[in-house]
Structure 1
C-alpha cells in the first residue's frame, strides 16, 4: 500500500509539473486559396522580389529585416501552417491564436493601432495596450522578414500566459502587415521557440524568459502532432518535460550543431534503402513552423522524381492518388537511427470540391549556412515522430509518435 501511495504521489507531481498547451489543426492558407481558385495569382503577387518592390518604400529606411539577402538567412513560411495554440497577454487577459514555431524566436501579435487590412476587427484579435494594467511601453521598432511578406511594429513588455505565467515578457505589436498573407491566416501571431540569436525583437525569447524565471520544471519542451483529423486536441506542446504515453520506444538524442535554429547533423537521406542524398552527412533543422520537408533545390527535385511526383506551373508537385500505396519509403538517418516515412506519411491529401488531390510533402528551399545547405524537417516529419527540444543539454530527441 505504501509503495502504491508513493507511486501515486510521484505521478501527481510529474503530471502537475508538465504544462500542456493544446494545438488545433486548421486549413492552411494554401488550401484556402486553392479552394477559392486564386492560389496562382496570390503566389505571383507574393514572390519576394515582387513583394519587395511593391512595399519596400512603406518601411522606414534601414529597416534591418529588408536588407538584401535577409530572406536567405531567415526562412518562415506560414502558407502551409496548420497547428496553432492559444496564449494570453496582459492583465486582464487578452487571448490570441499563435503559430508555435521552433524556427523563429520572436513573439508578436497584432496591435490595436495596426493600419493593415489583416488587422481588421473581424479577422484577427488585436492587443490593446491601454487596457492592460501590467503593460510596459518600450518604443523601439522591429521588423521581421517572412518568406511571404514583412511586418513592422513596436516592442513592449507584459504578462504572458501560455499554460503558465511569465512576467515582463518582451513581445512585438505589429502595426503594419502588408499583403494578403496575414489577411488569410487563421492565426493572430507567432510565438518563436528558437534560440535568442534568431530574434529580431530585443530581450529574452519566451522559453528563455521561462527558464530565467524558473517557472518550468526542466529546460525542455516537446511537441506531439496528431495525423488524425478526429483527435482532440490535434496536438500538444508540453512545457517542462515529456510525456511517455505519447510515443513508443526509446528517445534517440541528437546533439545540436548550432544554436540558432534547432540544428542537428543528418547522416543521410535514402529512398527505398538506397542512399541518395548527403551520403557524407549534412545539416538539418527541426522546425514546427514549416509544414513540409524541405531540401536544397537540386536534391529536392531529384527526390520528387524518385517518388513519382510531377511539377505544376506554381511549383507544387502532384502525385497520382491511386499510386500512393506503391510509392517508395523515404528514410532520414539521424544520430545513427533511421526515421522512415511511407507515402501515407509524406503525401498530403486535399479535397477540391468532390475531387481528391495528392501532393508531395517535400519542397525545395535553399538555406546556405557556414556548415553547408540546410534541410528542414517540418510537420510532415514531426507528425510521425514525437520531438523533444532540450535547452539544458543542447540536443533534440526523437521517438515514434503514437497515433490514435
Structure 2
C-alpha cells in the first residue's frame, strides 16, 4: 500500500501543467464492411433480435445511453491504465462520460443456445416452400402474412444458432486487450458495480481506481475511477475497439464518476479547461491516421482561427441550439437542439428535412439496408447549419461516404421516434468540416476550419 501511494505521488509531482495531443485512428464502420460483403441485411435481423433480447433482460435498467450505437464508433486512440502501463484502444466519445475497458474476466453476453439450444420462437407453422425463397419485405405480397412472419422468425433462429456457433470459442473477449488488476502496482479496489446500455447491448462489470494516461505515456491521471467490464454485448466482438473513454459531463456519468478529462483539469494537469477535436478525411483505408485530440488547449497545428463559440444549452451533453438548416434553395429557420458527438459516424436529424435533402441529391433509400444510397460521383452544394448567427457548411466530400468504391452512403439519417434529447446529432461529417473546441468550465463549444481541406 505504501508503494502504491509513493508511485501515485511520483506521477502527481512529475506532471506539469501543459497541452497534450494524441493522434486518433480511423477505422471503417462495421456497417460499411458488412454492406461491402453483402451480409448487412442478415446483420440487421440479428441486431433486431439481440436488441429485443437485451430489452427484456435489462428492462428495469435506470441508465440508457440514448443516442449512440457501437457500430457507429469509428475513431479511436491509444491510452494506458496501471503501473506498468496496460494499453487499450478506446473510442474518444463526447456523447458519454465514463471510461471502461474489458476486465481479464470479460465474457460476451450471448444468448445461451449451444448444445441445449432452444429457439427464441417456438411452435412455428410449416409454410409453402415457395415462401421460403422470398425475403421478408416481398413475402407478404405473395404469401400469407402469418407464413411470412414465421419464415422471418425461422431466419432469426438460424442466425442466432450460427452466431452462437461462430462465437462459442470467443466468449472470453480474447480479441480485446484486457485489464489485469493483479499486474498493476497502483490499482486500488473500488468494487462498485456499473452498467451502461447502448442501442445494441450493454457493458457491465465493476469499478476500480488506477493511474490512467490519456496520451498514453503522458497526461497521467492518478486514482482515476474506471469500469472493468466483465460482460460485453456480443456486438463489441465485431468492432476493433477495446473500450470507450467518455468526454461528456459528470451529470450523465454512471455512478456519478468524474470523467478523466475533468479530473485532469481539477488536478491542474491541463493548461486550460478545453479539448480540441480534429478529424481527418473519411476514406476506404482501414485503421489509417484519423486526426487528433488536443487536451488543454487549441490545436494550432491542424485548426485555423476560431470562427465562433456557442453557449451550451444542457449541462449533460455537448448540446447547443442551431437556428436553421439549409441546402440549395431549401431553408428551415426553426431553432432546435443539437449535440456534437464524436461517437456517431453520420449526422442525424428530423425525418422530414433528411428525406427532403436526400431526395434533392438523388439518393435512394434501400429498405433492406435501411440506408440512403447515393451516386459516388455526385457533386452538389454544401449542407448549412446556422449556429450563433454564423453559417457552418458541410461540403459534399464530407456527406457522400464511400462504402466499397462503387457504393456510397448519404451522410444523414433520421431519428424520428425519439421524444427526448436533441433534434440533431452532428456527428463525424460535421466534425470533419469544423474542428470542435470544447470548454467544460465556460460550458461553450467553438468551431474552427481545419487547415487541410477535408
Question: TM-score with structure 1 length normalisation?
Answer: 0.86
**Offset from partner CA, 1:175-222 (integer Å, 9 cap, x none):** 11133x201111100000001111124321111211221111110000
Task: Quote the offset at 1:306 in angstroms.
Answer: 2.6
* 1:92 is aligned to 2:94: no
Structure 1 residues 299, 290: CA separation in 2 closer, same or farther (over 3 Å shift)?
Answer: same
The aligned counterpart of 1:21 is 22
The number of equivalent residue pairs is 371
Larger RCO (CA under 8 A, 6+ residues apart): 2
**Offset from partner CA, 1:79-120 (integer Å, 9 cap, x none):** 132211000011110000000000100101011111226764
The aligned counterpart of 1:319 is 374
The aligned counterpart of 2:50 is 51
The aligned counterpart of 2:269 is 215
Q: 1:295 aligns with which of 349, 357, 369?
A: 349
Structure 1 residues 232, 146: CA separation in 2 closer, same or farther (over 3 Å shift)?
Answer: closer
Give 3-state SS (helix, strand or coil) of 1:182's partner. Answer: helix
* 1:36 is aligned to 2:37: yes
| Greater Rg over alpha carbons, structure | 2
* 1:309 is aligned to 2:363: yes
The aligned counterpart of 1:7 is none
**Offset from partner CA, 1:294-313 (integer Å, 9 cap, x none):** 11233322332233211012
1:132-151 maps to which residues of 2 (within 5 A)?
A: 132-151=184-203
Contact 1:119 1:125 in 2 (8 A): no
**Offset from partner CA, 1:124-145 (integer Å, 9 cap, x none):** 1011111111112222211111
Query: 2:450 & 2:330 partners in 1: Cα distance?
Result: 25
Q: 1:331 aligns with which of 370, 374, 384?
A: 384
Query: 1:232 & 1:115 partners in 2: Cα distance?
Result: 29
Higher strand share: 1
The aligned counterpart of 2:446 is 397
**Offset from partner CA, 1:44-87 (integer Å, 9 cap, x none):** 2213xx3344245666x84424xxxx46xx21123132211000
The aligned counterpart of 1:3 is none
Q: 1:114 aligns with which of 101, 106, 124?
A: 106
* 1:124 is aligned to 2:180: no
Contact 2:36 2:403 in 1 (8 A): no
The aligned counterpart of 1:359 is 409
Contact 1:228 1:403 in 2 (8 A): no
Contact 1:119 1:126 in 2 (8 A): no
Once the two structures are overlaid, the 10-residue window that deviates more, 113-122 or 142-151, is: 113-122
For the aligned residue pairs, the C-alpha RMSD in angstroms reads: 2.3
Query: 1:238 & 1:189 partners in 2: Cα distance?
Result: 20
Give 3-state SS (helix, strand or coil) of 2:357's partner. Answer: helix
Once the two structures are overlaid, the 10-residue window that deviates more, 234-243 or 15-24, is: 15-24
Runs of 4+ displaced beyond 6 Å: none
Contact 1:171 1:201 in 2 (8 A): no
Query: 1:335 & 1:57 partners in 2: Cα distance?
Result: 43
Structure 1 residues 273, 207: CA separation in 2 closer, same or farther (over 3 Å shift)?
Answer: farther
Task: Quote the offset at 1:169 in angstroms.
Answer: 0.7
**Offset from partner CA, 1:267-314 (integer Å, 9 cap, x none):** 1001115313xx231111011111110112333223322332110122
For structure 2, the residue ranges without an aligned partner over 5 or more in a row are 1-15, 109-166
